[in-house]
Chain A
Amino acid sequence: MIALEKRPQPSQVWSVATPVIAVLATMVFGGILFAVLGKNPVEAIRTIFWEPLFGEHSFYYRPQLLVKGAPLVLIAIGLSLGFRAGIWNIGAEGQYIMGAIVGAGVGLAFYPMEAWFIFPLMVIAGALGGWVWAMIPAVLKVRFGTNEILVSLMLVYVAEQLLASMSLGLLKNPEGYGFPGSRNLQQYPSAHNADLIEGSGMHWGVVAAMIAVIFAYVLLNRHMRGFHIRLAGEAPRAARFAGVSPPRLILFCMGLSGALAGLAGLFEVSGPSGQISIDFNVGYGFTAIIVAFLGRLHPFGILLAGLLMALTYIGGDIAQSQMGLPAAAIQVFQGMLLFFLLAFDLLTNYRIRIGKAGVA
């Protein structure tokens, strides 16, 4: 008889050890998968995990880890605050799109004027775009008690349709020979979110992600609002006695996560991506949910989880082109990694007892 016993306190040792075990387990099972597909498993694992970090061309891949990881971390930090308070915003993908559309729209409205204030205005607009999109489920929840999981999810599809409409209509590049997609903001200096030091991958989005990590850490550990968030999630009734106003908490958490997602979208569209197009969004908003949980909803955990996800993307692409692994195999591999990380988390919060039937 195997029984689970809840630990009074999450285990410090296991919270560090489980991610490591999960990664090792993924390597074993992923290796088996690659071997079945007829590829050298050791080589494949090495290519995915080692090559981007320490391989021959790591000087290029390391900055790319920041580029790929920053939006994930930025969105996941915002989401994690809500998740901790039991507020489920799973529509970050939509807020990301709206931030990009509104932010890029403001930038393009000024085209071709060059001025220092354009980019800051775009940043504000991007945050606002995401914020407004997140306020819809938030206000509906506060006012009518509507389920925010579902409303925010529905709004993702609405945002995707808006994106298609914008790429084909209002924001279409007038000099683009009728092809869908906006002007490229990389070629519009006042609106370009360029690398701060060229080739470092450090654009404003990376800076914002790092600030967000620190901000979230301080908020959660040093600030009353952060205490309320944790309290609302862990003991809702106690929170009410402590004077936490649920509506205000909902508006705060949803609004903040929406604004951060919007910012991520704006930094992406004005930087690495460059333009609004039909397929601008690549699922960062959904992946960020996974990143938030992989990081155990802890700011520094999220930072590491975001970089780990970025690593599997980049390493996966390298494995595809160098070893001929199909993209689907990489996807399955990532899925496995998530499963193991989620499953082994059990050990952090629970103790496994063997042989004492009847106690549990």
Chain B
Amino acid sequence: MKLTKLLATAALALGMATTAMADKTKVGFVYVGPVGDGGWTYEHDQGRKAVVEAFGDKVETVYVESVPEGPDAERVMTQMALNGADLIFATSFGYMDAVQNVAKKFPKVKFEHATGYKTAPNVSVYSARFYEGRAVQGTIAGRMTKSNIIGYIASFPIPEVIRGINSAYIHAKKVNPDVEFKIVWVYTWFDPAKEADAAKTLIEQGADVILQHTDSTAPQAAAQKAGNVITFGQASDMAEYAPLPRVSSIIDNWGPYYVRRTKAVMDGTWESVSTWDGIREGMVKIGEISSAVPGDVKAEAEALRDAIAAGEYHPFTGPLNKQDGTPWLKEGEVADDGTLLGMNFYVEGIEGEIPQ
């Protein structure tokens, strides 16, 4: 109790000191991986750079990379708050409870937690509707495949990943009823060698489209080597593999959100919100569809993208059944966010089981 007060007073004093001193807004970023991972953390750091670019001298950003989830994250965030951070972005799901703990001690500091679900008066959560991008990918994949086998490199069996598989499958199936998904779980977000092996395996088993939910470019390289296989960039654009094998990508585009939230802190208008943005808000970006994609397919994919962006179309629109054949969504019915957030089932047509 005493220490909590002490911490709060210290933070308050410091917060006032910094505002009085330079009128600079201090923004802290906590990263789960190294900024050089070329994927998840790299894109968050791009978001940080966007903040620097947008506000120049009026903002000071600090970051700590490769922070393990748990007590280390809690300490790093506390340290940032003590040193006068006004706003802290915690960019991994596993930081969720640590954010809650630190936020309680520093009511004046604003926290933004990526991909979590626990909010507080000074904690917002934000995430991106990557499944919207998966819908576009599925459409291109379904049209482009000749073997009708699409390989999917999945990381861990969690809702985020399952949602992506379902969305890609629904839209591939829509344009190509013969399509079949081969799903491989690699149990890692990042292990280039294993991802390369997974891609190779899928290609050897006849897949000519590889979708990945892991962060390295290893599958791209494997596809390039095999030839006649297309891939999609994940997390970052991976444009170095365009126009083939990489025909498009889903880009995590955190910059606009980070700029917006920093601005809100500067203006004193920051409020706790739960943000789940997609293509429309620009948090999910579809990377340039390359020249390897025929014009009509490209147009179809872009039309889908635009329909999603305009809010005219939701990737999970009925009629849809679950894998076991039980009805899920009626004709025209749209999935609610709650179900999507906790999605733990395949839709009808996907073979195999979700590992448990």
Contact = CB atoms under 8 A, between A and B. Distances in A.
A314 interface: yes
A201 to B, nearest CB: 10
Given A67-B71, A282-B70, A179 B93 contact: yes
Contacts of B65: 320, 326-327
Central interface residue in A61, A280, A322, A327, by most chain B CB within 10 Å? A327
Contacts of A68: 71-72, 75
Contacts, number: 104
A168 B356 contact: yes
Nearest to A200: B3
A64 B76 contact: no
A122 to B, nearest CB: 18
A59 B1 CA distance: 14
B80 interface: yes
A308 interface: no
B63 A321 contact: yes
A317 B62 CA distance: 11
A321 B342 contact: no
Given A60-B7, A60-B82, A321-B79, A178 B343 contact: yes
A214 to B, nearest CB: 25
Contact of A198 (B3, B117, B342, B356): B3
Nearest to B115: A179
A344 B14 CA distance: 43
A163 B78 CA distance: 28
Contacts of A168: 156-158, 355-356
A267 to B, nearest CB: 11
Contacts of A181: 94
Contacts of B71: 67-68, 268, 272-273
B215 to A, nearest CB: 15
Contact of A177 (B4, B76, B342): B342
B97 A184 contact: yes
A60 B6 CA distance: 10
B12 interface: no
B68 interface: yes
Interface in A161-184: 164, 168-169, 177-181, 184
Nearest to A275: B97
Contacts of A324: 62-63
A199 B70 contact: no
B334 interface: no
Interface residues of B, number: 45
A279 B2 contact: no
A135 B165 CA distance: 43
Interface string A181-201: 100101000000000001110
A312 to B, nearest CB: 13
Contacts of B259: none
A186 B3 contact: no
A68 B75 CA distance: 10
A200 B68 CA distance: 22
A328 interface: yes
Given A199-B3, A321-B76, A180 B158 contact: yes
B226 interface: no
B16 interface: no
B159 A177 contact: yes
Interface in A182-241: 184, 186, 198-200
A72 to B, nearest CB: 13
Contacts of A180: 156, 158
A266 B79 CA distance: 26
Interface in B69-102: 69-72, 74-76, 78-80, 82-83, 93-94, 97, 101
Given A57-B10, A184-B97, A321-B63, A279 B68 contact: yes
A314 to B, nearest CB: 7
A136 B56 CA distance: 59
Given A198-B1, A282-B72, A320 B6 contact: no
B344 A321 contact: no
A184 B101 CA distance: 12
A181 B355 CA distance: 15
A168 B185 CA distance: 13
Given A317-B64, A321-B64, A279 B3 contact: no
B34 interface: yes
A322 B117 contact: no
A317 B66 CA distance: 10
Interface in A28-61: 57, 59-61
A277 interface: yes
A178 B355 CA distance: 13
Central interface residue in B2, B76, B94, B157, by most chain A CB within 10 Å? B94
B356 A327 contact: no
B75 A178 contact: no
Contacts of A278: 156
B164 to A, nearest CB: 14
Nearest to B69: A279
A317 B69 contact: no
A178 B1 contact: no
A168 B101 CA distance: 24
Given A274-B97, A282-B72, A317 B67 contact: yes
Contacts of A313: 72
A318 interface: yes
Given A177-B342, A272-B71, A317-B67, 11 more contacts: A60-B79, A168-B158, A177-B117, A178-B342, A280-B70, A282-B72, A313-B72, A317-B72, A321-B76, A327-B34, A327-B64
7 contacts: A177-B159, A179-B158, A198-B3, A199-B2, A320-B65, A321-B28, A328-B34
Interface of B: 1-4, 6-7, 10, 28, 34-35, 62-72, 74-76, 78-80, 82-83, 93-94, 97, 101, 117, 156-159, 187, 341-344, 355-356
